[in-house]
């Protein structure tokens, strides 16, 4: 689904050797507030800064359009998933602030947390 959504959403990608290794897609909710729809980094290329580079590029692109707020939803800290613990740590390290937990947004076994970041022009 996320890959198919890249055809209709603003999406930025990184490639190595002609193959896409990472992408970020964005979704507009209002003129000044957008959401990260998906960030994906191929597992064998993680740890090389691809996610950070894509996020930085997306933030600059959004700020240039007057966007003030960027949000993301991921699996909440109440989940025991180690992979999503890494995901939350990534967003926290990039300046996102937890805003609210939604225990039933997706499913009881898949609680969601919303994080938000204020974007600055320039």
- Does residue 121 surpass a pLDDT of 80? no
Number of domains in the chain: 1
Q: Give φ, ψ of 48 to 5 degrees.
A: -105, 5
> Residues 49-103: pLDDT tens digits?
999 999 999 999 999 999 999 999 999 998 888 888 999 999 999 999 999 999 9
pTM above 0.75? yes
Residue 16: give the domain boundaries.
2-118
Cα 80 to Cα 120: distance, rounded to the nearest angstrom:
34
CATH number for 94 = 3.40.630.30
**Across-strand partners of 39?**
24
Q: In sequence order, what E strands does the chain have?
A: 11-16, 19-30, 33-41, 69-75, 97-107, 110-118
Q: Give φ, ψ of 67 to 5 degrees.
A: -75, 135
């Amino acid at each position: 689904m996320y890959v198919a959504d890249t055809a209709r959403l603003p999406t930025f990608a990184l490639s190595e050797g002609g193959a896409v290794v990472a992408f970020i897609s964005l979704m507009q909710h209002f003129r000044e507030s957008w959401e990260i729809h998906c960030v994906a980094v191929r597992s064998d290329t993680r740890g090389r800064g691809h996610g950070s580079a894509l996020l930085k590029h997306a933030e600059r692109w959004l700020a240039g359009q007057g966007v003030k707020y960027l949000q993301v939803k991921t699996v909440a800290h109440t989940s025991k998933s180690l992979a999503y613990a890494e995901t939350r740590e990534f967003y926290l390290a990039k300046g996102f602030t937890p805003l609210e937990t939604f225990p039933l947004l997706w499913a009881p076994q898949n609680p969601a947390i919303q994080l938000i970041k204020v974007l600055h022009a320039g």
